[in-house]
Amino acid sequence: MKKITSVMLFCLVFVSGLVYSAGISRSVFTTEIKDKEPVSELTQISSDITRVYFFTDITGLNGHTIIHRWEYNGQVLAEIDFQVNGDRWRTWSSKNMLSSWLGKWQVSVLDEGGNVIEQSEFEYITAQVKEPIVLE
């Protein structure tokens, strides 16, 4: 009886570990994706950048669908669905930005039931005006 209890305890711990590890292991805002990886990790993005990417590294959700929901000033501007086709799946969505869309942005990652499983923010800020160099 003791042997059976130990095996059941091991199985419970193992299964709990699998459930715990499922989800978003990394999420990043960036200006570019190269070789399926973000080139930077940004929390502020200048308005001279006209395209912003949201990258997610997903584990343990093979066969599920996730959604990237882009919001600005509490208004949903885009929802992009992704089918997860592996135990580890990297994916991204992007938003073409207008220079007038300054302020806080939020992207939520939703599961199939509409539950938020990850949420990240960035601030879209006014580009710094560079003074021209005058040669005398």
- What are the residue boundaries of the structural domains of the chain, listed by start? 23-125
Q: Is the pTM of this model over 0.85?
A: no
Q: Rounded mean pLDDT of the chain?
A: 87
Work out the percent of the chain whose per-residue pLDDT is above 90.
77
Give the pLDDT confidence score for residue 6 in this predicted structure. 46
Give the pLDDT confidence score for residue 55 in this predicted structure. 98
Interval 75-82 mean pLDDT: 97
* Backbone Cα Rg of the chain: 20
Interval 110-120 mean pLDDT: 96
CATH superfamily of 23-125: Macroglobulin (MG2) domain (2.60.40.1930)
- pLDDT band for 21, please (50, 70, 90 cuts): low
pLDDT tens profile 22-66: 899 999 999 999 999 999 999 999 999 999 999 999 999 999 999
Give me 58's structure tokens.
Answer: 């997903």
Give the pLDDT confidence score for residue 50 in this predicted structure. 96
- pLDDT band for 118, please (50, 70, 90 cuts): very high
Give me 132's structure tokens.
Answer: 């021209």
CA dist., res. 118 & res. 23, Å (int): 8
Residue 109 burial (CB < 10 Å; 0-12/13-18/19+)? buried
| 88-96 sheet: strands from edge to edge | 23-30, 51-59, 88-96
CA dist., res. 85 & res. 71, Å (int): 26
- pLDDT band for 5, please (50, 70, 90 cuts): very low
More confident residue, 70 or 13: 70
Matching residue, tokens 């160099």:
133
